[in-house]
Structure 1
């Protein structure tokens, strides 16, 4: 399952915080789960500096959830058996791919086609047998290919065709057998510089089988092949500088047949170790490199070693000679008598027990000598020209004052892993230029002032794994240039005041794994280490039981210290650190107090270390961390709090660690990782929360979404987090939790809310413009039905005979013509808005009450009337009453001639005119008595629509 795949195995318990929202937004939120997610919560891998690390993960297939931005991909030590064509399609910028130590036996054609940026490919130690046609298509930028330790015996002619940029090829330890197979490889590699075909069971080497042109090779390794015939008929290696033709386990001799003496004329490094060859052929071989050879390896030679040494030493340019594993038991004075130009001699892993006093006297130019892993019991003498001497892993038990006499040029001396029990104050007196001295893994219990006077240029001194128990005053005062001192893994229980006097340039001091206690720690011990950068006190017996301030803070003089580590060894009980333990460490960057059975940290602990960037308090029993503890260390970038007793990470919400990039908090008891915690760490790029007891409910829904979707923070091993609560979910993977009922897609909700708001606005606008009066009428109709209002089924008589609806511009006609006639002469009671409307009452209520409170409604129609908004509302309410009560309550009086085309927009009025009669005011000169008679009849007529027995229309119109 890769990122973005939905898992709906179970439904989580709905947490109280999520339950309310989940029901409201369920439908809106479903769509969001179809979106792919691309984060760093990988199932089997982790990301480190743009490299996907998937090694040793028991993978059987290439994971598909790797971010497309990675530049390195490590899949080594897995169980992958096949590389599919789609395995690497989404990795366009990948430059290094490691498939070492898998079970790959098949690679699909085009499997690497999309890796256009790949430069290094490692296929070592797999089970490839055949390399098919166009196997490496697409790898035009590949420069390095390793295929060691497969079973390759057949190579198609076009397998390597695409590798036009390849410079390095190692196909050692396979089953190529014939040089023709190698030819099918090399014919497509014009820029190849290094070729390693070691141990391929090649029995012959014929240059015409390999190539018909000159190769640009500079490095060629043919070692461990049982070659019996080596034939070169043309100069096919004009640029070769490094050549290894060392022997195999075969007892057959190689026949050397090189007809062009210039074929190896540029070789500077030659390895013929273990080669079985007639002495005459060996001599011929050495003669072919006589003008260029500088380094010769003759390791594990079978015979004629002294003769070969003297023969090789006649080559004037040869300066480096390796003679490892040759079973030498001693070095005679004649063995190197001709090696006057040799500057480096390696006799490692022989059986040398003693040397002749003048064994190395003839090596007048010797600078580097290695006698490591022999059986020497004393130091070889008369080596005044040496710069480096390695005597490690021998049986030397005592050093004498003249062992290094006159070796004033010596810069590096290795004496580790011997049996030296003590030093003397004169043993290093002549080593005035010595810079590195390695004395670890011996049996020294006393230094006897060996470092009090001499070794003024020594920079590195390794005394670890000895038996020292006390460092006395001024023990190292002669080492003014010393920068690195290792005293780890001794038995030191006491550091005397002034024991480090003179070490003013010391940078690194390693004291871990000793018996140092808190009593040995005080400022006077470290007062001379003014330039110390790193102090390691791990695995000691430093115990503090109180957080009270110390009178003498131990590190108060180490203002330049950058790294301090003080975990304990075999400590019993519960401890605390003094609140001023770090006083004076103003430049401290790294503080390691892992595994000291610490119960708490005082809030003032870090007020002395404002530059702190890395803090490790893992494997303690700290139950709570105050946010104020982190206030002085706002530059913190890495925090290790694994294996503690912390039950929550809530302290991070208020710690203000805005620069924190790395958080390791595994194997604790956190059950919920709140959204506030992840939001409080904006710079976080890696977090490890393995082995915690997660709760599988909605409280962890925000954390799950964050782990899957964020593109900045890698949540290591997130897909293997397991649920511990509730009981019925115990053992289930946290990422299998179905959070669909918990989470709310905020973006979708915002979109839906905005869309709904716009839709409602449009509906309201449409309704207001076209249907507002229908709604008003419906409102009053509802009131009538609900409360049995006066407007419906009311038995009392109407208040008015007629309501006059007119425009104010027509008011002169109403006042001068209509009102005198109807009210003055005929005695009708009329309702006029300017006279009878109730002051302070909403105008719409006045209109409605007037229409429903009158038997009839007379609408005085003119052009002005049609343009009036309020007149339009009055006729709408009247028509509502007409159609609702089914009564003849509406009389239309036209003061002006209005064409039908101008009435078209007033669909309601046209509808009424199609079904009802109307009156028109007579034109000038016409008789008006008929108009008033018809109007009087209309007012007297019954309200039943079915009894319309008289005609009101004076001028006929067709609609």
Structure 2
């Protein structure tokens, strides 16, 4: 019955939502047809892809250990469009290895060890457009290797060991759709070939080979538009004799042994289509001669990179045609001189002087020439230390200015004067320490300002007041410690603000007051924000009602360990919140109450921080789609944690010490499709039986690398855990059977140690009762003694000198007394002697003194007599007090006090007259019968007193030491 009940529950849960996984792949949670199988260290393709669905469209199995592809390795993926097998150890492609991939468009086989490309290896790829074979060991390609690739447009054979160009041309000659062929970094020596390149080929790259000849055909590049022959150091201008370059629109020939002027004289290429980089044009005379040759040509872009140019004169380009773009990158220029070398080219639109040695930008306020069409200047990767006033005044229409990656430490207040149309200003990766409002005073149309990775420490009031059209402000990577209340005043259209990797410690509501109506993205990652109390005055984001993205990850040095209550209050439009890398100790239950539109939440990498997520903390995040809780130290999750996340698509819980995963926790996540539990020590116990059954039924939710999930004891994989035994509930029966035995084994030593003598004493009480019971039934003989005398050895003189003579030796009638030193049987157990003496005597006389009360043996004797008094209802006990003992001393001896409450006792008087009366009373007490009359209620009361008396745990029981004490 129990088995079927559990089975019904599991089937019901599976009906609600169930899971699946892939042995070596992860399905992209944003695209159900895309799979990544990266770094799985597999040597066999089938082990990687055997369990993937047939409708897979994108597959990445790069960074594995594959050495060969067998026939029809991917035959079931008829819908596959993109396949990456790069960064493996492929040496062999068997024939028809890709057969069946009729829909494939992109195949990446780069960074492998393929040596020979044979026919039929690529058979079946009838729709392939992009093929990457770069960075292999290809030395030979058979003529029909690409025969089946009729639609191929891009073929990358860069960085191989190819030597036979004719063989390559023959293999690609049938590719009527081929547009780009990359043969750079091979070992080609000549371009002699017997076949023709496809007419569709427009991009041919032959850079970094060993070319000494360009072939014996007049038109090997008849249809090529872009030709790269760079870094073929043996090529000279004679190699181009009678070579048809009429259709080439962009030619690169840098670092070859070519005289550019002679080349221009003999070649039919349009002179404006040549890239003049790396041509040895390192002085003004050569540049002037080049301009002479270009005078009557149409030149749009003049590329002069890597020519080792150190200086330019004002008349260097006077004879050049009007060009739009000029590029001086990777030279050794030390001064741009307000671009005076271009003063005759007023039509120039873009100037690039990157990777040079510029160290200062001087003022251009006094120059008389202007560049009205210049819209782009790039001075990146130089050594610029300062920018003077009006450094760009002769280019008033600039739209983009790039000064990043320099050593600028100081900006003059008027450095960007008159750049009223500037939209992009990059000052990142410099040494700027101070910002002034006047520095940006004229940049009213600026839209993007990048000041990242400088040394700015304070943002003062009104610094950006003139930038009313600024949309993106990047201040990340500085040393900002303080932002004043009006620092962002005037930024009426600011959308993105980046303040990450600074030293900001405190956020205030006033800090963002000026931009609260427009800001959409706020990046505060890696600052020093920290709170010491959960109580906070106001949320710093309270008025940012339009903010969509907020990043607070990895605060230094300890992280945001405490989040105040209502910290995110007001962020009702927020869609992404990043809190990863903070050691948050506890999230308040109202932390996310206002984030009703949140779709992405990152709490990952808070290890040693959050250890418990409280119920209801996500109750208002009904639109949340991605929740990242990796490495947070979470040990358990309750069912109510994810209660309202009905739109949650991806849940990441990897690297948490979770041992029990209850299916009921996620059964309400009806939109869940992606669950990551990697490196969680899930226990292989019956507690995880529901989760095991749920995960065994492939359906809707992907458990990432479920087959790698190990049991918490690392003894086995979780998916191999046999939970069939759990249905028998063996654990319950084992617990019920073993627990009592374990408890007994644990309690027995304690009982033996603590209660040994109490148990033994109870045994003697029972035995005395048992002996007396049978004696009353079988033995009707009179008592052997009239009284048993219970006394302490310290009081023995009084007993022998007073009690014994008066009761046994004087008077007409004397009594027979039992004294232990005289009447106990030799060799017999002392306790047995005491019991028999009490029960063989009509009365027991207790001679009470302080020493008597402290004696263990006397305590035993009075308890035996008390038993007969209370239980058998016999008047057998007579108390004689030899000394006055106050009640406060007697209060600690509960047994004596109880007897005194029921029996009259006798005090030993000091005067002779009183002593005579004492003996008379004592003798009368000994003559009275021991039977006590009582009604039912009295007897019951006395029995109750007896039980209460015997249950007393006062420390007066026998001890091992006292067993051998004399009385």
TM-score (norm 2): 0.69
Which residue number corresponds to residue 70 of structure 1? 56
Which residue number corresponds to residue 836 of structure 2? none
Which residue number corresponds to residue 819 of structure 1? none
| Partner Cα distance (1:507, 1:573) in 2 | 26
| Partner Cα distance (2:451, 2:563) in 1 | 30
Q: Kindly indicate whether residue 348 of structure 2 is the aligned counterpart of residue 366 of structure 1.
A: yes
Which residue number corresponds to residue 794 of structure 1? none
Match for residue 207 of structure 2 among 223, 230, 245: 223
Q: Kindly indicate whether residue 515 of structure 2 is the aligned counterpart of residue 528 of structure 1.
A: yes
Deviations 1:254-293 (A, max 9, x none): 6335547xx4323221111122235565224653234xx4
Q: Deviation of residue 301 (structure 1)?
A: 4.3
| Partner Cα distance (2:599, 2:434) in 1 | 39
Q: Deviation of residue 117 (structure 1)?
A: 0.6
Unaligned runs of 5+ in 2: 729-967
Which residue number corresponds to residue 277 of structure 2? 298
Assess if the C-alpha contact under 8 Å between 2:642 and 2:669 holds in 1.
no
User: SS state of the match for residue 330, structure 1?
Assistant: coil
| Partner Cα distance (2:293, 2:546) in 1 | 54
Within-5 A mapping of 1:397-416: 397-416=385-404
Which residue number corresponds to residue 669 of structure 2? 681
| Partner Cα distance (2:163, 2:637) in 1 | 62
Match for residue 667 of structure 1 among 655, 659, 681: 655
Task: Report the aligned-residue RMSD.
Answer: 3.0
Q: Deviation of residue 405 (structure 1)?
A: 1.0
User: SS state of the match for residue 665, structure 2?
Assistant: helix
Match for residue 229 of structure 2 among 207, 227, 245: 245
Which residue number corresponds to residue 458 of structure 1? 446
Which residue number corresponds to residue 649 of structure 1? 637
Unaligned runs of 5+ in 1: 1-18, 745-959
Within-5 A mapping of 1:151-550: 151-206=137-192, 209-211=194-196, 215-231=199-215, 233=217, 235=219, 237-248=221-232, 250-251=233-234, 253=236, 255-257=238-240, 259=242, 263-279=244-260, 282-284=263-265, 286-290=267-271, 293-294=272-273, 296-299=275-278, 301=280, 306=287, 309-310=290-291, 313-314=294-295, 316-355=297-336, 358-379=340-361, 384=371, 385-451=373-439, 453-518=441-506, 520-523=507-510, 525-548=512-535, 550=536
| Partner Cα distance (1:232, 1:647) in 2 | 75
| Partner Cα distance (2:376, 2:727) in 1 | 68
Assess if the C-alpha contact under 8 Å between 1:626 and 1:651 holds in 2.
no
Which residue number corresponds to residue 39 of structure 2? 56
User: SS state of the match for residue 316, structure 1?
Assistant: coil
| Partner Cα distance (1:467, 1:649) in 2 | 45
Kindly indicate whether structure 1 or structure 2 has the higher relative contact order, using CA contacts under 8 Å at least 6 residues apart.
Answer: 1
Q: Deviation of residue 363 (structure 1)?
A: 3.1
Within-5 A mapping of 1:614-629: 614-620=600-606, 621-629=609-617
* Greater shift in the superposed pair: 650-659 or 463-472: 650-659
Q: Deviation of residue 43 (structure 1)?
A: 2.5
Within-5 A mapping of 1:759-774: none
| Partner Cα distance (1:280, 1:399) in 2 | 38
Deviations 1:618-651 (A, max 9, x none): 2332233233222211111111112223212334
| Partner Cα distance (1:40, 1:307) in 2 | 69
Assess if the C-alpha contact under 8 Å between 1:493 and 1:516 holds in 2.
yes
Q: Deviation of residue 181 (structure 1)?
A: 0.6
* Greater shift in the superposed pair: 168-177 or 135-144: 168-177
Assess if the C-alpha contact under 8 Å between 1:526 and 1:555 holds in 2.
no
Q: Deviation of residue 179 (structure 1)?
A: 2.5
Q: Deviation of residue 705 (structure 1)?
A: 4.4
Assess if the C-alpha contact under 8 Å between 2:425 and 2:446 holds in 1.
yes
In structure 2, the CA distance between the partners of 1:450 and 1:189, relative to structure 1 (3 Å rule), is same
| Partner Cα distance (1:558, 1:574) in 2 | 20
Q: Deviation of residue 445 (structure 1)?
A: 1.5
Match for residue 706 of structure 2 among 718, 735, 739: 718
Q: Deviation of residue 340 (structure 1)?
A: 3.2
Which residue number corresponds to residue 756 of structure 1? none
| Partner Cα distance (1:205, 1:285) in 2 | 20
Match for residue 93 of structure 1 among 61, 70, 79: 79
Q: Deviation of residue 588 (structure 1)?
A: 0.9
| Partner Cα distance (2:296, 2:19) in 1 | 63
Deviations 1:644-681 (A, max 9, x none): 23212334565221100111111111112222133222
| Partner Cα distance (2:654, 2:202) in 1 | 50
User: SS state of the match for residue 239, structure 2?
Assistant: strand
User: SS state of the match for residue 687, structure 1?
Assistant: strand
Q: Kindly indicate whether residue 625 of structure 2 is the aligned counterpart of residue 637 of structure 1.
A: yes
Assess if the C-alpha contact under 8 Å between 1:141 and 1:166 holds in 2.
yes
| Partner Cα distance (1:660, 1:397) in 2 | 52
Deviations 1:432-461 (A, max 9, x none): 111111111222211122355220111111
Which residue number corresponds to residue 836 of structure 1? none
* Greater shift in the superposed pair: 213-222 or 451-460: 213-222
* Greater shift in the superposed pair: 137-146 or 58-67: 58-67
| Partner Cα distance (1:176, 1:617) in 2 | 51
Deviations 1:202-234 (A, max 9, x none): 22223x5232x8622111112222222224645
In structure 2, the CA distance between the partners of 1:181 and 1:389, relative to structure 1 (3 Å rule), is same
Which residue number corresponds to residue 135 of structure 1? 121
TM-score (norm 1): 0.69
| Partner Cα distance (2:466, 2:7) in 1 | 78
